């Protein structure tokens, strides 16, 4: 398809993005969207940028790219205890974009937006001579004063994490073009599971209300459990003792670690999990686990908060452990 045959900006928006818009999007025919938080609620805002070749492979399925662009933002809202209300999308399309690609991208984006009740309310569409670049800003609401911050953990609190850790980083290796030798030790089902965890992260929006009620601090695990825990501890001005043997792993991740035990560090520091890392008091953590279980999300205790600022002690079958790197970093 030539440039002359492709839709222009406004036709492109009407064809692929207007169907994803909620009432606040005003049919994407205005210069801005409109949100009306309920009385007694506050607005929570988060933004993430994704760049081809940095956050995803350029030849990843476009539907998966659309899904992930929204999922990483919904994960942040979930960690704050916020209900998703809408998002804006800025997309810079490379010169060789095709309608088929854009149709699938919008389908993946729309699938998660529909499931999460988080409609498109605006954005911008441009072209670029560089790589495909996406930016999503998502908006959510919480009852006034109930947003769960990083800076709320207290000595004696229990440290918990949702789901399983390490699948995203291992899935990146399984899905990528340069597969390491340990991938051959996994069966097809295990490889598919890990790759899907990388391609389609599952934001834990079902936990939002439970976190509001019971968590003292929370954030999502996007850059690696070890590095993100360090961020939470720094914000709260405290330390922690973590039992690595208690960190939940999926069966496919365990199979990968059996094939190459050195992968444990990648699992704990590699990122792309989009699980929830949180703390709760001794009094509240059992209720938090129960509330999460009612919503189909497992929460596992993995340690405790200690008073010493920035002191993190990791233990496990191998004794005290340190890490060559803490987390994924852009810089």
Identify the CATH number of the domain in which residue 155 sits: 3.90.650.10
Contacts of residue 299, defined as CB under 8 A and 6 or more positions apart, other chains included, come to 160, 161, 162, 207, 276, 278, 288, 289, 292, 293
CA 162 to chain centre: 12
Last residue in a domain, options 143, 169, 184? 143
Q: Is 145 annotated as a binding residue?
A: no
CA distance 40 to 34: 18
200 labeled binding residue: no
* Cβ partners under 8 Å of residue 331, min gap 6: none
| Strands 41-51 and 312-315, bridge-based pairing | unpaired
Do 120 and 63 lie in one domain? The reply is yes
Helices 62-79 & 188-199 angle (0-180, nearest 10): 70
- Is 210 among the domain residues? yes
Taking CA 178 as the corner, what is the angle to CA 177 and CA 184, rounded to the nearest 5 degrees?
Answer: 105
Q: What pLDDT is attached to residue 319?
A: 44
Question: Does residue 330 carry a pLDDT above 60?
Answer: no
Residue 124 annotated as binding site: yes
Residue among 229, 223, 222 nearest 247 (CA): 229
103 vs 310, more confident: 103
Same-domain pairing of 136 and 169: no
Residue 47 has pLDDT above 80, yes or no: yes
Output the pLDDT for position 326: 54
The 10 Å CB-count burial string (b at 16+, else e) for 189-208 is: ebbebbbbbbbbbbbbbbbb
Q: Quote the pLDDT of residue 5.
A: 66
Q: Is 272 among the annotated ligand-binding positions?
A: yes
Same structural domain, 122 and 170 = no
Same domain, 240 and 287: yes
Q: Are 284 and 161 found together in one domain?
A: yes
Alpha carbons 104 and 229: distance in angstroms, whole number? 35
- Residue 322 in marked binding region: no
CA angle 285, 253, 256 (to 5 degrees): 150
In a domain, 247, yes or no: yes
Specify the higher pLDDT residue, 7 or 176: 176
| Whether residue 311 has pLDDT greater than 60 | yes
Least confident window among 26-40, 76-90, 315-329: 315-329
Question: What values do phi and psi take at 15, rounded to 5?
Answer: -80, -40
236 lies in some domain: yes
The answer to whether residue 323 is domain-embedded is: no
- pLDDT, position 150: 95
Mean pLDDT of 102-108: 96
Answer yes or no: do 187 and 292 share one domain: yes
For 171-223, the pLDDT digits (tens) are 999 998 889 999 999 999 999 999 999 999 999 999 999 999 999 999 999 99
CATH value at residue 82: 3.30.1330.10
Question: Do 203 and 75 fall within a single domain?
Answer: no
Residues 91 and 182 in one domain: no
Q: Edge-to-edge strand order for the sheet containing 217-221?
A: 217-221, 275-280, 158-162, 299-306, 239-243, 312-315
Is 57 assigned a ligand-binding role in the annotation? no
Q: Containing domain of residue 37, as a range? A: 9-143
For residues 107 and 188, state if they share a domain.
no
Residue 133 pLDDT class (50, 70, 90 cuts): very high
Q: 112 near 105, Cβ under 8 Å?
A: no
| Residue 223 is assigned to a ligand binding site | yes
Domain boundary among 99, 117, 143: 143
Q: Are 77 and 140 in contact (CB under 8 A)?
A: yes
pLDDT at 91: 95
- Whether 220 has a binding-site annotation, put simply, is yes
The pLDDT assigned to 29 comes to 72
The reported pLDDT for the residue numbered 10 is: 74
Based on the structure, what is the number of domains in the chain?
Answer: 2
pLDDT at residue 177, rounded to an integer: 86
Evaluate whether residue 94 is within a structural domain.
yes
Specify whether 23 is located in the same domain as 80. Answer: yes
pLDDT at 324: 59
pLDDT at 23: 78
**Helix, strand or coil for residue 222?**
coil
Give the pLDDT mean for 159-165: 98
Q: How many CB atoms lie within 10 A of CB 104?
A: 17
User: Would you tell me how many other CB atoms lie within 10 Å of the CB of residue 59?
Assistant: 8
Q: Is residue 4 part of a domain?
A: no
Is pLDDT larger for residue 27 or for residue 154? Answer: 154
Q: Give tens-digit pLDDT for 225-280.
A: 999 999 999 999 999 999 999 999 999 999 999 999 999 999 999 999 999 999 99
Task: Decide which of 108, 128, 143 is a domain's last residue.
Answer: 143
pLDDT of residue 318: 45
CA distance 269 to 204: 20
Give the pLDDT score at 1. Answer: 45
For residue 108, name the pLDDT band (cuts at 50, 70, 90).
Answer: very high
- The confidence score (pLDDT) of residue 173 equals 94
Q: Is residue 329 over pLDDT 60?
A: no
**Residue 327: pLDDT above 60?**
no
Q: In this structure, are 21 and 112 located in the same domain?
A: yes
Residue 2 lies in a domain: no
CB-CB neighbours of 103 under 10 Å: 13
For 139-153, the pLDDT digits (tens) are 999 999 999 999 999
Residue 123 labeled ligand binder: yes
The pLDDT value recorded for residue 331 is 35
Q: Any bridge partners for residue 278, and if so which?
A: 160, 218
Evaluate whether residue 330 is within a structural domain: no
Q: How many CB atoms lie within 10 A of CB 170?
A: 32
Query: Do 222 and 75 touch, CB atoms closer than 8 A?
Result: yes
Instruction: Report whether 17 belongs to an annotated binding site.
Output: no
* Rounded-to-5 percentages of helix, strand, coil across the chain: 40, 25, 35
Residues 94 and 185 in one domain: no
């Amino acid at each position: 398809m030539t440039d002359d045959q492709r839709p222009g900006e406004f036709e492109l928006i009407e064809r692929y993005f207007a169907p994803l818009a909620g009432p606040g999007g005003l049919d994407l025919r205005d210069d801005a969207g409109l949100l009306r938080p309920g009385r007694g609620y506050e607005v929570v805002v988060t933004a993430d940028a994704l760049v081809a070749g940095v956050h995803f492979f350029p030849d990843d399925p476009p539907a998966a790219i659309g899904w992930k662009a929204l999922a990483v933002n919904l994960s942040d809202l979930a960690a704050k205890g916020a209900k998703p209300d809408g998002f804006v999308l800025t997309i810079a399309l490379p010169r060789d974009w095709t309608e088929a690609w854009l149709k699938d991208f919008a389908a993946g984006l729309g699938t998660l937006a529909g499931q999460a009740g988080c409609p498109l309310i605006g954005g911008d569409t441009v072209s670029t001579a560089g790589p495909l670049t996406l930016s999503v800003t998502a908006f959510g609401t919480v009852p006034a004063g109930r947003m769960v911050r990083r800076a709320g953990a207290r000595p004696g609190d229990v440290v918990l994490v949702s789901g399983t850790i390490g699948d995203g980083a291992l899935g990146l290796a399984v899905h990528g073009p340069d597969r390491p030798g340990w991938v051959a030790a996994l069966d097809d089902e295990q490889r598919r599971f890990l790759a899907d965890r990388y391609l389609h992260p599952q934001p834990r929006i079902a936990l939002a209300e439970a976190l509001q009620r019971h968590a003292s601090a929370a954030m999502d695990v996007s850059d690696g459990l070890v590095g993100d825990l360090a961020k939470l501890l720094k914000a709260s001005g405290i330390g922690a003792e973590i039992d690595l043997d208690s960190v939940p792993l999926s069966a496919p991740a365990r199979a990968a670690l059996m094939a190459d035990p050195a992968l444990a560090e990648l699992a704990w520091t590699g990122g792309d999990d989009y699980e929830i890392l949180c703390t709760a008091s001794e009094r509240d953590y059992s209720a938090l686990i129960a509330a999460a279980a009612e919503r189909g999300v497992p929460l596992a205790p993995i340690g405790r908060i200690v008073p010493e600022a920035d002191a993190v002690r990791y233990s496990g079958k191998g004794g005290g452990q340190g890490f060559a790197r803490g987390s994924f970093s852009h810089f």
